[in-house]
Structure 1
């Protein structure tokens, strides 16, 4: 592989000494054999070309991936497990433990080793993976860890964005002119609107909680009754909780990443990719509409925005903005944005819990510590019928005590809505 990072990857890369990292943790009960873990990581690394690349920069500072035949194996750091909460502290430290992008793989594993229970923490640079990618990697690692003879088949990575674009779009001269004009205007706007300040220092943190299986199933059933979605219920519950705690500071808007694979059939489910288009949704702060009415409105709004996405054109246009990437990153670091949270609901995780040699006790939703001025991120996943929540932010933007109050309020709202009673 030898290709430039596409714009979405470029934004998540940030810079060589400060990569954005994703952490995905699996709690395993049973005996983990080190040699089997090494074998599993080798097979996963051999399958995915992005796990065998380093990042370099051209003379203009634009980063690109290049395959390294001498790249070391995915490293494993073993730490002795002391408690069920060790993974929280390790996650917070791993967010800011940047990868050595010029000579090491863009993934590593932290093994919190206990006598009966361990946590396997997969850490990946966000510029090589989205939520679906890191889930695939964890599933494959566990599969080969349990059955060492498992065969993982490599695939040919794409060489550029053009691989996903129809010839007619590539030949569209007007679209190229349009992209150039928008790029010029965007560059000026970004320079004018970006304050000359950096994100002030402050500790990143995560508030984590689970909804038990019975309550999770009840909420699923209630959403079905109300002809809405879990994603909409989670979004509205968070926005209402945020407004309850933060008052006029709340904006009533949520950003929702969308899995790009639904638009690109060439990109298979088990292939790594790191760009997710987003839909920005809002709920009227002073609306008198009931909770479930709001969720139906938000669900319909999300569906309409997804249906209206032109992913091919988005990918085409984005390639004209690489010269503005530093300004985009500076803008994200300096401005609060117009939203309360970025909310990603991964849904029911496609990963088994029972294996021959161990049992997957639970999965914790992925987390990432973003260096943005507004780092509010809520990631939700469901495993063994339990909804799991990871809310990540930073003291410079949202005090941890407020984040915990918001989380408590959201939990209370969801518990209230599990009831089969209709709204008055």
Structure 2
């Protein structure tokens, strides 16, 4: 037990460098394989290169991770370190010719290999024309999740509009010591539980990895990755919000049922009836400040009822109960401390995720209503596209939604080798048709 406590004290010591957490190491991978998250904002108006450079300089000064690289120690453990000589965040400029130029630019950003040893692990692509621009912000997923990226976008937009604005500065990395309360972090009972659970995780990963042969796995052609983008009209968005409120369910749950139904309709027996949903860890851990970058959260794996006699809303309410029960049972501190006892098997986890059998249909994430105004003093935000992210894992299929200006936006990412592009289009159309049918008009059947 004493050895375990010494390990935690060493791990949590607050320095200008820190060891990557277990899930950060999963996202970091081998350091050269891209795993990037891309956000796109469409701006109506004129922005200047000078103001954009100023904005990037200020956010890089504020957030240590934007000045960081990753180096391994003599035990091959990767560490973030603040690189005082880190290059400035690069800006790539593309002349805007078509409304969908941002899609091809996003694909290029997926494939970009960051200099993870020196940083920065962020870049900007400016798709530029005199009156309209798309700003693409790309970051390595090992240091940033959706919530952190939206923070950065808001800071960039505020600084573009007001270059003199001060946004503060963080002087050190966020560590587990900052996140987990001391009575839990150093409690004998909690340490023992984390050690036991960590041993179980190590055994499970070792067993799972034993039966996986990377050489027998079909590797995807990354050129076959694709992105489908669409929006609900404001009327359809409003109808969905109202129907979910009437049924006592979240929009997130209703969309999960819609997409699982669409996968089953299009894919038939090839559908798994499983969706994985990330959960923002900030909802459970108040010590992760809203203006702090963090890269991962918790997760739910959900399945809907298959009974064909059940209505859409009956299935949605049942799934909502499952979500509520699972959320109530989540313990982020046990989760974090358990995984920090499993570092010796991180390579086995990557092996399972990259080459293992696909067991779910998709990853679904709903960022909800974005806290960004439509109008600034010097420009307007025409739209914000939901982010896209793709990595090396066996199932890259991801649908991400967000709501801006009372309109739901959808991004659908996958690879033609796993999910044919035409199937993805059919899944999209099936989900849209189902949701429109179930929400317009809203009748008493929603409440039955």
Q: Does 1:15 align with 2:30?
A: yes
Separation of aligned partners in 1, 2:114 and 2:41: 21
Match of 1:110 in 2: 125
Residues 1:413 and 2:434 are matched in the alignment: yes
Change in CA separation of 1:422 and 1:185 when aligned onto 2, cut-off 3 Å: same
* Aligned counterparts, 1:241-260, within 5 A: 241-260=262-281
Alignment partner of 1:165 out of 175, 180, 196: 180
> Which position in structure 2 is the counterpart of 1:216?
237
Unaligned runs of 5+ in 1: none
Within the candidate set 307, 310, 319, 1:289 is matched to: 310
Q: Secondary structure at the match of 2:403?
A: strand
Q: String of CA shifts for 1:316-356, please: whole Å, max 9, x gaps.
A: 11101112111111111112432111100000000011011
Query: In structure 2, how many angstroms separate the alpha carbons of the residues matched to 1:360 and 1:94?
Result: 22
Runs (5+) with no aligned partner, structure 2: 1-15
**How far apart are 1:136 and its partner, in Å?**
0.5
Pair 1:179-2:197 in alignment: yes
Deviations, residues 256-303 of structure 1 (Å, cap 9, x unaligned): 101101111111112110111101111123442110111111122112
1:42-63 alpha-carbon deviations (Å, 9 max, x no partner): 1111111110101112234322
Cα 1:362–1:320 change in 2 (3 A) is same
Q: CA deviation at 1:379?
A: 0.4
What residue in structure 2 maps to residue 230 of structure 1? 251
* Aligned partners of 2:34 and 2:391 also within 8 Å: no
Aligned-partner SS, 2:402: strand
> Are the aligned partners of 2:154 and 2:372 in contact in 1 as well (CA < 8 Å)?
yes
Partner of 2:326: 305
Is the partner of 1:244 in helix, strand or coil?
helix
Q: Which moved more, 1:259-268 or 1:168-177?
A: 168-177
1:412 shift after superposition: 0.9
1:193-228 Cα distance to aligned partner (Å, 9 max, x none): 323344512211111110011110111111111111
Match of 2:73 in 1: 58
Output one character per residue of 1:80-99: Cα deviation in whole Å (capped at 9) or x when no partner: 01111011111112111111
Corresponding residue of 1:129 = 144
Counterpart position of 2:388: 367
1:184–1:349 Cα change, 3 Å: closer
TM-score by length of 1: 0.96
Q: How much is the aligned-residue C-alpha RMSD, in angstroms?
A: 1.6
In the other structure, the counterpart of 1:354 is 375
Q: How many residues of Structure 1 are paired with residues of Structure 2 in the alignment?
A: 424
Contact 2:220 2:415 in 1 (8 A): no
Kindly report structure 1 stretches of 4+ aligned residues shifted beyond 6 Å. none
Please, what TM-score do these two structures have when normalized by structure 2?
A: 0.91
Confirm whether residue 384 of structure 1 aligns to residue 384 of structure 2.
no
Query: 2:282 is paired with a residue of what secondary structure?
Result: helix
Deviation at 1:116, TM superposition (A): 0.9
Residue 156 of structure 2 aligns to a residue whose secondary structure is: helix
